[in-house]
Structure 1
Amino acid sequence: MANVSRASSSTEGFFQLFPTIEKQYTSPSRPSDFATPREAQRLSDDPILARILHQYLPVQAREQVGASVHKLSRRVLQPSVLHHAVEAETDVPTLHPLTTFGEVNKTDPLRTCAGWKALKDICVEEGTVSIAYDKTKTDFNRRVAQFGIIHVWTPAAAMTMCPMSMTDGAATLLSRHLADPDGDQPGRHAVFAETYSRLVSQDPRQSWTSGQWMTERTGGSDVSGTETLARRLTQGEITEDERLGLDQDILGQPLGPWRIDGFKWFSSATDSEIAVLLARTSRGISAFLIPMRRRVRGRVMRGEGEFNDDVTELNGIRIQRLKDKLGTKGLPTAELEIKGARGWLIGQEGKGIKEISAILNITRIHAAAGSVSYWSRGLAVCRAFSKVRKARGRLLYDHPQHVLWMATETVKYWAAAQFSFFGIALLGCNEQSWEAVAKNTASETLIPRDPAHREALLRLLTPVIKAQVSVASVNGLRECIECLGGVGYCENNEDGGIMNIAKLYRDTLANTIWEGTASVMAEDVGRVIKDKRIAGGNVIEAIFGSWVTAALQNCRGLFKEECEVVEERLQALIAIAESSSAEKLEYHGRDLLTHIEAISCAVLLLHDASTDGDEVASHIASRYVWSHAVPHSRYQRKQISWQDNASIDRRIFLGVSFRPERQNGKL
């Protein structure tokens, strides 16, 4: 009798093995293995992170920092953390603007789920902000350590890193004003000191987060049209607030002597304890710190005659509505009406845009770093999926075309990760010193020793990193979605949401807009190039060019032709900068971003590979140069057989320690 085929059903037929997401970073077990990146690179699913930590951290710090990253690489995959992330995505913030009888709800109009709150606590516990401000750590780059944690944590954080990034920026801003006297704002010094200590706390019971309220209806990144107004309160108004019991924040500290009124059209982290915002005074746009809430004394009694001092309400802020966004679902983003909020002037009146730049530089780095961390998780899912999914009778990793595709994406990801962490390393070096954090590391020939040179280089590269890495990560995650086919296109919140690349894609899209689009970043780069205060208006040749030339000196032994290619691309960029007017640079702004990105990433990958001659790192560096940095020139890449290339592809995408496992089954 002939065999009769059986139809599949919900319980019978093909069932694919569930992909196993590997640990992103694994720290070597022997102290001697920290001398080189080889062992951590072999053990880790994300080997570029291991190489980056090795490049920027001295040997004595790698074990300490690596242990924290190792531990978190396991925590982010725990079912409880994955559950929190799914809950934050699906049980979204809600607004309850009125009380039962229709009065304005000033007490608790915004409600977020337990998962969101739990993830914020983990952010604090893991030091996503505090590590950068721990002044007891002086012998390694605290920013690299901080963003090593962030790189592992962000894909599981369900956008809680948005308030953390703004908290980081606010902490940097306030740190510059901790020594300011009260002046005509009695109590400001104490308020700033207490606020700063809570922003950088690693204790969830004490920590605060900060909002950043800049965006108005007149224009996103263009704050020149700010319609929010601020004025000094009269003594009579201050006395009246004291009489009404509306003169203290939630800690019992005095509220500031400024009154702020206006409307903010897009305000993330609405559940934060404080906010930094811009408002216009009689002397121009100024920066202010406002507490989100204030005490309400004498309004409510607890028992007969006993006043409840714990009652608080919003500090002259009314949440108009929550934004319905493409992504970032768990993040409470709102339109805010500010009417009679009391706050403190930060720095000088009329200098608000200059003050706020301290936050923007930090948050732009966060935007890039967060984007590339999402990309890392997307590729991790692709690796895991490729090891268990079959097509036409073979596992995906046995299809050379598939592996070449994913290897090409991995090359792009390595470049973006190196570019982001170079900006991070420059930031940390500027905050500490070259001698403290770069000397005696693999990066001492990469990071300029001169502080003015480093400052100018970071000023030029920050908008490029923000624009290019954010956009590249979106494109990379789109490729990851395609890698999974229909699975990638679905909102997979089952199994802890570990397979939900669609969510990563939606959330990453926000970073291409937040803190300025690529066009805004391109305009910023054009201004830097023409700014006479920076290297006399010659930043491309004098600062960027000299950095490229110096860094490539250590690469010529292994990558002679690649170095020549990069130098020719550099000369083309210098010629454009020298011959173009400000108007022409603006017109070709996005081309400038691409030039600077290609040169920078090539230099960073070549430099990294030259430190130890690692085979995979060398192939990736060479591939990037020939694919992305080649100008219209005479150079032609050396040709090798596709079979040899395919062998290299597998090591790039799946790792040097991967061993195929033959499995039976059918698609």
Structure 2
Amino acid sequence: MAAKLERQPSSATTGFFQAYPVIPPAYTSQTQQASAQSGNAGSDDTVLTDILKLYLPNPLPTALDKSLHDFARTCLDPGTLRLMVDCEISHPTLHSLNTFGEANTINPLRTSEGWRGLKDIQTKNGIVARGYDGCSEAGKYNLRIHQFALAHLWSPSCASVSCPAAMSDGAAILLSKHLALSSNPSTPGQDPKVLRGVLQAVYNRLVSFGPDYAWTSGQWMTERPGGSDVSRTETLARLASTEELSAEKVTFGKEDADGVGMPLGPYLIDGFKWFSSATDADMVVLLAQTKKGLSAFYAPMKRAKIMPDSTRVAVMNGVRISRLKNKMGTKGLPTAELEIKGMRGWLIGEEGRGVKGISAILNATRLWTASGAVGSWGRGLAVARAYAKVRKIKGEQVLAENRQHVKWIAGEIVKYRACAHLAFLGVALLGIAESGWEVAAKGTNAGSWMPKDKKEAEALLRVLTPVMKAQCSLWSTLGLRECMESLGGVGYCENVEDGGVMNIARMLRDSAVNSVWEGTTNILAEDFVRVTKGRAGEQAVACLDRLIVRMVGTVVAFFEENAHLVQWRWGALKAWLASTATEKVLYQGREVLQQVQELICSLLLMIQAGNTGDSLDRTIADRWIRSRFGQGRELLHKGSLEVESENDRRIFLGTPTAGTQGMRSKL
């Protein structure tokens, strides 16, 4: 009888230890991709590269390519990850009173070193600034694609500092619209020349690359009565009287300027905001009721005050933080309830038309939400892929050799790629709406089917943004849950060691807010119905129809059957929208959002496959269409096991990797 193998017990320091997965950067410069394939570190996620080739000049401008390559590595740098972990374990704190019990109006909110450090990295790399003309040295192209590509890379590493970036971007869009006007509406008590100077100075700070100069913006709309229903806003604004302004000068030591010396607005604002993200912002855009209705205002967070000892300090501009929110995720992000009493602000735009004015911010932040959600999902899949390559499951077999596991995550990657293309379609439309087709699309692979008219791009953005925000938010949260499960117990743990790059649990918690803030899925469904069934509904649907017709025309030559299937499905949905009562459409609003998502994603994936001619891209498009249009069950067992599993492997792992060719299904 053969002697039994003697085993030694494991201990805390001996026995098996899992090899640590290596998470590669999410983007590699086009000039280095060839060497990456030869063995140097490169990206294992090609979707961002594919999107850039679709909407930007090819080859990419060198400076743009380099900025993305370098920033992808910054996002995984140990110093960046240390700051991210610090945000997770060092939460914001509120210090309402000073030593002797007097109200602390100077620095009541304290954020972590990690939060402040990540904001500095964000500003230096132009996460907001890259989206604006004059802020890029790489030439004329769709600046928004460059900007949101950076945001895609940044989202999973930034501990939600992208939230104030999104609101700052929205505020910059709003201010730029007013600065572009030859004159602003005349308002009693508000000097238009002074207002213009203030808005220009604020805009310059919002789009700055300098951490010591740049500002971030808050966005205050949510109140206790209405949530997303801003018509029930209880915050009030009125022009201050001469007597009130004189009394303020006594209180603040003859100072009538904000914290950096700019003139304060003539309006006094009072109310209570129930949910304000990025409470450490330098400024805010908010809604308040006036005699003429709901209006939009700009206000700085700080104003100047001369203290008894003659020192000049910046104090809160009529804002008191009532309490910080205790949230499921986004722990480093200071979210608060705010009491506003005597806040000085400027009316922006026409009095009583605030909802229309602030919609520019809302559309931008919804697009940021969709894009950021997809970016975090991409990191989760990168972790799942890296883990599968090293996790031993039977003898020397690794998880990446298990057919069932690879099939599962390959299915998730198809969904991720579809949503990534959907989000960046919105980004591309934003670029055209701002800069025009000649600058933002001409000569690109998408130029032939993207709208050439700015107004049409704006209309499409208005129709599709609710779809993008709703569906990308929902699907990314579900996708991150799958990524968490793919790591087993490790995925369920809050892994803050080793830079926290393995902490999918944190990303899952953070992602849950995406389907809540800036409108829940039901609110977005209502928004979509309002656009497509409202007064301008026919024109909105016609714009979408023209886009789909152009996209179908682009792919019909090499995807004839699927192109006609999508066209038929769109025709049926379009006819149903036209003939069905608004209440019935609203009743099925969530299903309508999903149908539009499925149609647009099908076309985008087919366009991608047509551009590259790659069989893998074609497989991804076929799988998406098969799964979304009801053919999946019928074809489930008809494909060859060897062919299908090889396609799974290519979708999941990309090019052949040593040790993964001989895939087994043994558990």
Query: TM-score category by the smaller chain?
Result: over 0.9
Partner of 2:351: 349
Distance 1:63 1:167, change over 3 A: same
Partner of 1:332: 334
Deviates more, 1:512-521 or 1:647-656: 647-656
Instruction: Decide which of 279, 282, 301 is 1:292's aligned counterpart.
Output: 301
SS of match in other structure, 1:648: helix
Partner of 1:276: 285
TM-aligned CA deviation for residue 12 of structure 1: 1.3
Partner of 1:315: 317
Deviates more, 1:524-533 or 1:132-141: 132-141
Partner of 1:465: 468
Aligned Cα RMSD in Å?
Answer: 2.4
Q: Distance in 1 between matches of 2:600 and 2:629?
A: 9
Partner of 1:22: 24
Q: Distance in 2 between matches of 1:151 and 1:256?
A: 36
Q: Distance in 1 between matches of 2:577 and 2:144?
A: 31
Distance 1:477 1:130, change over 3 A: same
Distance 1:41 1:267, change over 3 A: farther
Partner of 1:648: 647
Partner of 2:561: 561
Distance 1:647 1:631, change over 3 A: closer
Matched ranges for 1:71-220 at <5 A: 71-135=70-134, 137=136, 139-178=140-179, 179=181, 180-181=183-184, 184-186=189-191, 187-220=194-227
User: Does the Cα contact within 8 Å between 1:626 and 1:637 map onto a contact in 2?
Assistant: no
Q: Distance in 1 between matches of 2:465 and 2:271?
A: 31
Deviates more, 1:237-246 or 1:347-356: 237-246
SS of match in other structure, 1:285: strand
TM-score under structure 1 length normalisation: 0.94
Distance 1:562 1:43, change over 3 A: farther
Partner of 1:618: 618
Distance 1:91 1:527, change over 3 A: same
Q: Distance in 1 between matches of 2:351 and 2:149?
A: 37
TM-aligned CA deviation for residue 30 of structure 1: 6.8
Q: Distance in 2 between matches of 1:324 and 1:291?
A: 26
TM-aligned CA deviation for residue 567 of structure 1: 1.5
Tell me, yes or no, if structure 1 residue 255 matches structure 2 residue 264. Answer: yes
Distance 1:13 1:638, change over 3 A: closer
Structure 1: 5+ residue runs without aligned partners? 302-306
SS of match in other structure, 2:299: strand
The superposition leaves residues 234-272 of structure 1 with CA deviations (integer Å, 9 ceiling, x where unpaired) of 011112222333421011122110000000010011001
SS of match in other structure, 2:273: strand
2:560 aligned partner, one-letter code:
K
SS of match in other structure, 1:544: helix
TM-aligned CA deviation for residue 453 of structure 1: 2.6
Q: Distance in 1 between matches of 2:647 and 2:39?
A: 20
The superposition leaves residues 631-665 of structure 1 with CA deviations (integer Å, 9 ceiling, x where unpaired) of 899x97994302101111111111125333799xx
1:479 aligned partner, one-letter code:
E
User: Does the Cα contact within 8 Å between 1:602 and 1:629 map onto a contact in 2?
Assistant: no
User: Does the Cα contact within 8 Å between 2:436 and 2:453 map onto a contact in 1?
Assistant: no
Tell me, yes or no, if structure 1 residue 579 matches structure 2 residue 584. Answer: no
User: Does the Cα contact within 8 Å between 1:41 and 1:50 map onto a contact in 2?
Assistant: no
User: Does the Cα contact within 8 Å between 1:230 and 1:258 map onto a contact in 2?
Assistant: yes
Distance 1:483 1:571, change over 3 A: same
Deviates more, 1:390-399 or 1:54-63: 54-63
1:94 aligned partner, one-letter code:
T
Distance 1:373 1:40, change over 3 A: farther
SS of match in other structure, 1:177: helix
TM-aligned CA deviation for residue 549 of structure 1: 1.9
User: Does the Cα contact within 8 Å between 2:449 and 2:554 map onto a contact in 1?
Assistant: no
Instruction: Decide which of 13, 16, 36 is 2:15's aligned counterpart.
Output: 13
* Matched length: 650
Q: Distance in 1 between matches of 2:161 and 2:298?
A: 21
SS of match in other structure, 1:324: coil
Q: Distance in 1 between matches of 2:10 and 2:308?
A: 65
User: Does the Cα contact within 8 Å between 1:530 and 1:538 map onto a contact in 2?
Assistant: no
1:521 aligned partner, one-letter code:
L
User: Does the Cα contact within 8 Å between 2:24 and 2:42 map onto a contact in 1?
Assistant: no
Partner of 1:304: none
Structure 2: 5+ residue runs without aligned partners? none
TM-aligned CA deviation for residue 532 of structure 1: 2.9
User: Does the Cα contact within 8 Å between 1:25 and 1:40 map onto a contact in 2?
Assistant: no
User: Does the Cα contact within 8 Å between 2:238 and 2:269 map onto a contact in 1?
Assistant: yes
Instruction: Decide which of 405, 412, 432 is 2:435's aligned counterpart.
Output: 432
TM-aligned CA deviation for residue 188 of structure 1: 1.5
Q: Distance in 2 between matches of 1:62 and 1:619?
A: 30
Distance 1:538 1:514, change over 3 A: same
Matched ranges for 1:599-610 at <5 A: 599-610=599-610
SS of match in other structure, 1:275: strand
Q: Distance in 1 between matches of 2:630 and 2:539?
A: 24
TM-score under structure 2 length normalisation: 0.94
Q: Distance in 2 between matches of 1:250 and 1:84?
A: 28
SS of match in other structure, 1:242: helix
2:536 aligned partner, one-letter code:
R
The superposition leaves residues 103-125 of structure 1 with CA deviations (integer Å, 9 ceiling, x where unpaired) of 11111110011111010001101
| % identical equivalent positions | 47
User: Does the Cα contact within 8 Å between 2:626 and 2:632 map onto a contact in 1?
Assistant: no
Partner of 1:497: 500
SS of match in other structure, 1:98: coil
